[in-house]
Structures are given as C-alpha cells and as structure tokens.
Structure 1
Amino acid sequence: MDTSPEASSLAQGLRIVRVVVDREKAGKQLLGVSQLAAELDMDQSRVSRLTQELCDLRLLERRERGPFRVGSGFFALAATLNTGWLRDAGAELEALVAATGLRARVSVRDGFRVILLLASSNDSRAGSFVQPGMVTPVWCTGAGRALLWDHKQHAVEVLLSDVNFVGVGGPRAAHSTQDVWELMVRDKKQGFVAAVEEFEHSIVEVAVPIREAQDGILASLSVLGSSAEVASRAGELADALHQAATRLGSARAGGGA
C-alpha cells in the first residue's frame, strides 16, 4: 500500500497507542520501549522515536523511564470525539447491529488509505485487529469506495497512480485503477457500494457516504457480513445505511462536533 514515511508513522503510531490502551483497559502489565518493539515486531529505535512524539502530544505518558500509559491528551481527544455527530454515530452503529445483525463501521479517508473511526460493539473487541485507527486500502473496501463517491475518473487515476495493487485485498480485489473505476461506475448505478470479497475472503461490505451539505463527503458508513448474510439483501441494507447517513450528516450540519 502506502510506503511514504508519513503514512508508515501514522499507522505505526496508532498501533502503539492501541496496544497501550488495550493493555491498560485489560489491567495487563504495561510495556516499555523494548517490550513494545517486541510486541509489535518493530525496530526498537523507531518505537523509541514514535513514543517520544506520542508523549509530546500527550497521547501517551511515561514516568522516570518506566512503562507507557495513556496520556491526558488521549482522554481529552476521546472526550471531544464523544460529542456531536460522532456520539450519534455510535448510537447509529448499534441500531444497525440490532436491525441487521451485521457489523457496522464509520470510516474516514487519508489519501488512498481508509482509517476506521468507529466500529460497532460486535466488531471492535479488546485484542481484535479491528480497532479505531485501523488502516485499510481505499480501492478494495466498501468504506473506501464510498469515500471516493464524488471523484471523477481522472481524480481516481491520480489518487491511485502510485499504488501497488499486487498482493493487496481479497480474491475479487481490483488490480488496476481501471478496475477500480469500473467498480465505481457499477456502484453509482445501484446507488451504493457493494464490495464482495474485495478485502476479506467470503466477506461483503455494503457502504454509503455520509454527507455534510457544505463540505461534501464527511465519512462513510458501512455494514459487513458473510456472503450468505449480505448478498441477497444488499439493497435493503443500503436503504438503512442511507437513512442513518442522512441523520448523521444532518447532525454534523447542525453544529455537532
């Protein structure tokens, strides 16, 4: 996927924060630099640099060269995110779970990466790789293509010009920018994205954009399940997603954080 230093640092920094948060929530022993490096299979010098930056941002804290714990900045950020439309998004995700029995997510885009912002309770569990901050490709996920919904063909080609498609995604993932565009043309005809086995084997993701009137696409809303759970009712699921996305877009436009 993305090999730029910025993308790598973002993903690795989020992984470090996730490990620290999960261990503290679970009451497990906290870790120092060398232990984090071993846990994440990362170079120790890189972990040292990234944790220092995270401490500078107050997302982590460390006393007298002891283990890392969650910093005050993390809690301040969490409190900010738990207001307005994002607070409403959590409720909408759980409502989708109750109505569909599927996993549900809210995601945002960073270049040709998708960053998971919120996941439903049946999707994001302690120890699971599905956690806020998880990074996936924009071209072979339903959430990703929903975030590209307003892009013209040339914009898609420019965005994905440096992407290496080889070895990324599931058995039906796109292997070129032309493949991605053809999928988007198909998606637009049906009014929603249906990514069938494009990122994970046997998994279908149905997704729609969340729009804010003045700022265009704010995020994407999606549900995921097995082919048997999703394929025959993709249109019905899309209707539920569109309704929830409209409510969330209205909440954002109404001044929510």
Structure 2
Amino acid sequence: MSVESSAEASSMAQGLRLVRLVADREIRGRQLLGVSQLAAELGMDQSRVSRLAQELCDLGLLERADRGPFRTGPRFFTLAASLNTGWVRQAKTELEALVAALGLRARLSVRDGFRVILLRASSNDAVPGSFVKPGMVTPVWCTGAGRALLWDLDRPALDALLGGVNFIGIGGPGAAHTTAEVWELMERDRAAGYIAADQEFEHEVVELAVPVRAAGGGITASLSVLGSRAELGSGAATAASALRAAAERLGASPAVG
C-alpha cells in the first residue's frame, strides 16, 4: 500500500467517499458496483478509484471477491461494533465535556500500525461535507493523537514501525521528516507529560493529546483536542490537565482493554 497516498488529506477524503458510497448502497439494498461504476458515481478517474479501492481492501474496510463488485469489509464492521462498547460510549460524554470546558474540538483515536483511526469526534468537530467522522485515517507520526499512541515505544520499536514510511510531502509545516525527528518530538513531549503537535498535520492547527491506558497499563487509545494557536493561547497546560483527567476516567472503565 502507498503510505503517501493513504496519509494525504485528499486521498483520505476520496477514500472515505468511496467507503460511504459502497456502505450506503448495501444499506439501501441497491446493486453493488465495480471500479468503473464507482468512478462514474463519484466523478473520479477510474485508475484513481481502482488504486484507492485496493488500498481500502488492504485495510479491510472494503472487500471484493473474484473481481466482482465491492462491498464493506470486516474492518468496517469491527469499527462500527467498537462504537457500541461501553467505554467508547462513555467517551462521547468526555469529549463533549472537553468541548464545554475548553472550547476546542475533541477526538478519541486508536492505532493500526502506522495509521490512526478516528473512533469518535466531538459534535463541534465537523461541518456539512466534512470527512471528520469515525473511520477517518491519518498518519501516526505527524498527528497529536498518533504520537500519543506511540508514547510507550522505545527507539528500536519506533524505528521498526516507521522504517518503511515515506515522510516526503506528508503533514503540515511542523511535521517530522525522519524517524529521528519523530523521536526527538516524543522525547520533548514525554518530558512535558503530553503531546503538543503544532501544525504537524494541518496548517494553523495545534493538537494536544494524551494516551488512554487500560487497567493493565497498556495504551488502548488516545484522547486529543484541536484548535488554532489563538484558541489555545497560553492554555496548553490547562487543556492537557483536562485531557489527562478525562483519559484516566476512560481508562478506569472496566470495558477498556
């Protein structure tokens, strides 16, 4: 799978459009579509749809038997089922509490290799037509949510995870471009006690994040808030404290892990 195409915002948006079209046709009992038909429905180049569909199949979000039509894959249903578990339901309350307290957008995410999958987003984290919805995939190395999920990795483990990643052209002006740079950011943020990703993925956006730990201590998810520099102002430490408290409450849920 192309790391660059999976991480670029335009590719993610197009991929999510593709998944939603396939899922919507299944839900409505309509005829399932192949590559050329999907391309026509989406107004996209057929070769582009073919490549995106293959990447989504590799992720398990779509599946296709014997070059037939596409349908939703097992990962799609696993993600949907995860949204019904107790601690993820509880996360909705925690996300909205963070919005009320901080006036920032809030997210709950999990890691799948070098990708981050969004499980829940706060009610203020999307506008009509936005692709900030459960299932959105972003890079692990240049997002606050992603780097919080890397918190416990030592340098050899980080090298192994990111060894094949193509950093070029991915992320915002603050993004790391080598594994060594990711490690430096992790070391800086561990000392502070929280992740501070300043324009690492989106221009003019700062994301603060902390890991959510299960009862056994392992990292299950990450909790993050996002806003502009003006919105955060000098309140990063206050926001991080609120994030840690919310993460501890989520981690204490007996369903976590």
Give TM class, smaller chain.
0.7 to 0.9
Give structure 1 stretches of 5+ with no counterpart.
Answer: 58-64
* Pick aligned residue for 1:94 from 93, 96, 103: 96
Q: How many residues align?
A: 240
Contact 1:36 1:47 in 2 (8 A): no
Aligned counterparts of 2:134 and 2:220: Cα–Cα separation in 1: 17
Shift of 1:255: 3.2
Contact 1:140 1:198 in 2 (8 A): yes
Q: Which residue of structure 2 lines up, in the alignment, with residue 217 of structure 1?
A: 219
Matched residue SS, 2:88: helix
Q: TM-score, normalised to structure 1's length?
A: 0.77
Please state if 1:37 is matched with 2:36: no
Shift of 1:215: 5.7
Percent identity for Structure 1 against Structure 2: 61
Shift of 1:236: 0.5
Inter-CA distance 98–14: structure 2 relative to 1 (3 Å threshold)? same
Q: Quote the RMSD (CA, aligned, Å).
A: 3.7
Give the AA of the match of 1:187: D
Inter-CA distance 42–3: structure 2 relative to 1 (3 Å threshold)? same
Q: Which residue of structure 2 lines up, in the alignment, with residue 81 of structure 1?
A: 83
Task: State how 1:118-197 maps to structure 2 within 5 Å.
Answer: 118-197=120-199
Shift of 1:256: 5.9
Give structure 2 stretches of 5+ with no counterpart.
Answer: none
Inter-CA distance 70–114: structure 2 relative to 1 (3 Å threshold)? closer
Shift of 1:138: 0.8
CA deviations on 1:119-176 (whole Å, 9 max, x unpaired) are 1111135521212111111111100110000011111111111111111100111111
Matched residue SS, 1:207: strand
Aligned counterparts of 1:195 and 1:48: Cα–Cα separation in 2: 30
Q: TM-score, normalised to structure 2's length?
A: 0.77
Contact 2:212 2:251 in 1 (8 A): yes
